[in-house]
Amino acid sequence: MENLDIHLIFPPQWSPFQPFLSTPALKAFLVERGFAVKQSDWNVEFYDYFISRQRLRVAIDRLDRYVKDLGPEHDSYRNQALLALGILSDFDRKSQQAKGLKSERCLRTIDEFYTAVTAFKRLLFAFSTAEPVVEVGTSSLSTSDVLSSIPSIDEFCSNPEINPFLSFFREKVRAVKSEPRYFGLSVIGQEQILAGLTLSRVLKEVFPDVPIVIGGSVFSRLVDKTNMISHFFKKYFDFVLRYEGESPLVELLECSDPFATPSSNLCLLKNGKLVKTKLAPQVTLEQIPVPDFSDLDLNSYYSPETVLPMLTTRGCYWDKCAFCYHGMIYGDRYRMLQPQTFAETIEELSEKYGVKHFALNDEAIPPKLFTHLPKTVAP
C-alpha cells in the first residue's frame, strides 16, 4: 500500500477469541474521510507464535534446567516444570488439538470442543512455565513485578531472554513493507502495557523517523495521573492520544507539524515538560461508520466460528461506581446507538463477512435498549 497515512496495531495481550473493536472502528472512520489505513492484530498472531514449534526447543531446555537446578524450597515450581515437560513431550498432538479450536469440526461433539480448549490452555501453561517472567493465559497476563519501576520496564523491553514479545515484534516489524506516516498502537488494558512498550521500542529501532501514537484508556489515565510517563516519550513513543480517537486522529493526520502546532487530545513532551492539548468535541455513535475488519484474518482467532465485537453504547448509564474508570475514556458521557442503526450494522457485517455471531462488548447495557433490540434485529 503506497502513501500509507497510518498503520494501526493491536498488541498483545488480550483475548484471542475475537478481534477487538478499537482499530476496526478507527479504520472505518478514517477511511471514510479519505485516509489510507492499514490495521494489524498482532495479539492473536502472538498466541500462535508463543505456542509454536520454533519456541519449543528453548522452552524444553529452560524447563530441564529448572528441574535440575531448583532446590527443595522451590518444589512447587519444579513440579510445574515437570508437568510442563510432560505436556511438551506430546507437542505435535497437543498443537493439532489446539488448532482444532479454530475449526467448526470441534463443535461436532462437546468432547471435541473440550479437547481443543484443554490442549490450548495446557500449551499456554507449559510455555508460560518456561518463561522467567511472563505467564500468558487466555484472558490474562502475569508479569511479576516488572511494572513496579521504570528501570525494570526498560530492562524487560530490551532483554530477549526475559521478554517473549521482543523476538516476535522484531520479526513482525521487519516484515512491514509500507512505511506509514504514523504508527498507531491501541492499548486498552494493563495487560498490554509491556507488549505495547516493547513494540513501540522496536518500531523506533526499525522506523526511527516515523512518529508513534499510542492511544486507549490505559495511557489516557497515566498522563492524567503521573508525570513519570514523560520517561517514555521519544524513547518509546511520540504522542499519547487521549480519550476517544476518531476526530482527534483526523486532526493529527491533517496536521503538517503536530510538534509545532499540536492537534486535539494529544499529550506530548515539549522542552522537557508534558503538554496536553484541548479535547475535541465527541462524535455521536451515528457518526461512526460500520467497523472495517477487511484486512484482518477472521479465521485466525481461536474460535470455531467467527465472532465479531459490537458496542451499542459508550460510557455507562449508571456511572456511580467509585472503583470503575470505564466512563473516563468516554469523557464520562453516556451515548447509546439507536436500535435501528444497530440492526443495520449487524445486517451489513453479516452480509459482508458471512458472520452470524456477535459479541456485545458493552460494560453496561441499559434495560431500555434490551427491550428494543429484539424488535429490530431480524432472526
pLDDT digits (tens, 9 = 90+) for 101-114: 999 988 889 999 99
Q: Which residue carries 517514555 as its cell?
A: 232
pLDDT surpassing 60 at residue 304: yes
236/154 Cα distance (integer angstroms): 10
pLDDT of residue 332: 62
- The least confident of 11-15, 142-146, 235-239 is 142-146
pLDDT of residue 217: 87
pLDDT surpassing 70 at residue 272: yes
Mean pLDDT score, 331-346? 83
How many Cβ atoms sit within 10 Å of the Cβ of residue 371?
Answer: 10
pLDDT surpassing 60 at residue 297: yes
Residues 366/314, Cβ–Cβ less than 8 Å: no
Residues 299/101, Cβ–Cβ less than 8 Å: no
pLDDT surpassing 70 at residue 379: no
pLDDT of residue 312: 87
Residue 27: CB partners within 8 Å, gap ≥ 6?
Answer: 8, 37, 39, 291, 292
Task: Name which of 40, 39, 41, 36 is nearest 2 in CA terms.
Answer: 36
The amino acid occupying position 38 is K
- The least confident of 11-20, 236-245, 333-342 is 333-342
Domain residue ranges in the chain: 1-282, 306-376
Identify the H or E element spanning 335: strand 335-336
What are the tens digits of pLDDT across the range 179-218?
A: 999 999 999 999 999 999 999 999 999 999 999 999 998 9
